[in-house]
Structure 1
């Protein structure tokens, strides 16, 4: 089987496993770059030397996280190809990831938080900011939040995050007050907690 054919089969397999469109597009791009460098050769003819040479040149062009992602794609593609019986042995099995230093997360100061708070004007902006600040939720979790997700008595909410997993988060009294003000100011029957003006 040719490299391009194996890459398409690999991508199809990951689509069946319900990988996200963004991940599939990234895999497709990585496969094209690999084919452009090595050539559309037979999978069994690709050696560890081919892969190491490709990665050695890539290391000069990519940032460390991007370089690690490329290595992971290659290892995953060839491991899958070996498991599927497409290749007799896995040339990428001994390729290791470089150690990437972890960045220390930057935290906002109290002054910066107050500046952000002052920049919120409408009840929706204020309640959205307070909810994000007090719960630490991602915006992707907040957009799926509905009225039934809120437990006002315990100041808690059930949010749905990555992998469609649910978790419980808690908000403070300031957030509670602004959420109630915001919801009471609306004249719609939308079950979503946060809606845009266009959707109301």
Structure 2
């Protein structure tokens, strides 16, 4: 049976009617700000958990109440999980403050755990070569997906949402709808264009149809793409698991190694903040030099 519940609304009956009304106002504000469905769903789950376990009314809530709940919650949790919950709670309380549902901010900045920024996981030149070799034995659709991910830097969800009409093979560009429903135009490689053309010749459908379909004639979903990429990593004998974001990180490191500037890479990847892209510049210089020499001579 299909769940008709709106993802931006909480229907949790363990939360008081008045608090739930405020909560749903907050979720609606996120939706109107074009926050991704996955983000709103995640925030709903976090806030429902907090409001079901911390039973102090919003108007009476104090920093001590929040800290007590947070301390118990964080006991066996990773720092990144605690940081996510704090970000979500802080966002909700800031909304309540601006709408006069609360009088004071009950989250303290000093509570945020210090998280060391890890480098993105990407494929080395040798690993990338093994993946490309393993991909040659796959179906034309799967090869097209793999080449598109590695040469465009697109997110998995963005690829799922592409239609045939979004692709311009001659110019090797695609119209992509990214986070916050922002439209951008990305590029893909010559080899990707060749394989995409070959794949589309096996299809008999309208330009409005999804670019990638499953064997049942339905749009290929995120889970389908994840399985294709995971299976390819195993086939290539990689020591790490291969997932779509590794393709995205590999695209960025390869572009940087070829001499592309960070602003261009940020535009291609749909990063709203250039600081998000700057992390790729922290990859060890030796790796970048070797990658550059392997590509450019």
Structure 1 length-normalised TM: 0.82
Partner of 1:54: 69
Q: Which runs of 5+ in 1 are unaligned?
A: none
Maintained 8 Å contact 1:14/1:24: no
Stretches of structure 2 lacking an aligned partner (at least 5 in a row): 1-14, 219-297
Q: Which runs of 4+ in 1 moved over 6 A?
A: none
Q: Which residue in 1 is equivalent to 2:230?
A: none
Query: What is the aligned length?
Result: 197
Quote the residue 1:137 is aligned against: 154
**What SS is found at the alignment partner of 1:60?**
helix
2:214 is matched with 196
CA deviation string 1:75-114 (max 9, x = no partner)? 2232222222223333335564222111111211233333
Compare 79-88 and 25-34 and name the one that shifted more: 25-34
Cα distance between partner residues in 1 of 2:178 and 2:80: 23
Cα–Cα, structure 1 residues 28 and 164, in superposed 2: closer, same or farther, change >3 Å? closer
Deviation at 1:54, TM superposition (A): 2.1
Greater Rg by CA: 1
Q: How does 1:96-115 map to 2 (within 5 A)?
A: 96-115=111-130
1:162 aligns with 2:179: yes
TM-score (norm 2): 0.58
Q: For the Cα contact (< 8 Å) 1:151–1:157, is it kept in 2?
A: yes
Q: CA deviation at 1:127?
A: 1.2
Cα–Cα, structure 1 residues 186 and 87, in superposed 2: closer, same or farther, change >3 Å?
A: closer
Q: Which of 138, 149, 157 is the equivalent residue of 2:166?
A: 149
1:26 aligns with 2:42: yes
Residues 143-167 of structure 1 show CA distances to partners (whole Å, capped at 9, x for unaligned) of 2222322233322211111111111
Query: CA-atom RMSD, angstroms?
Result: 2.6
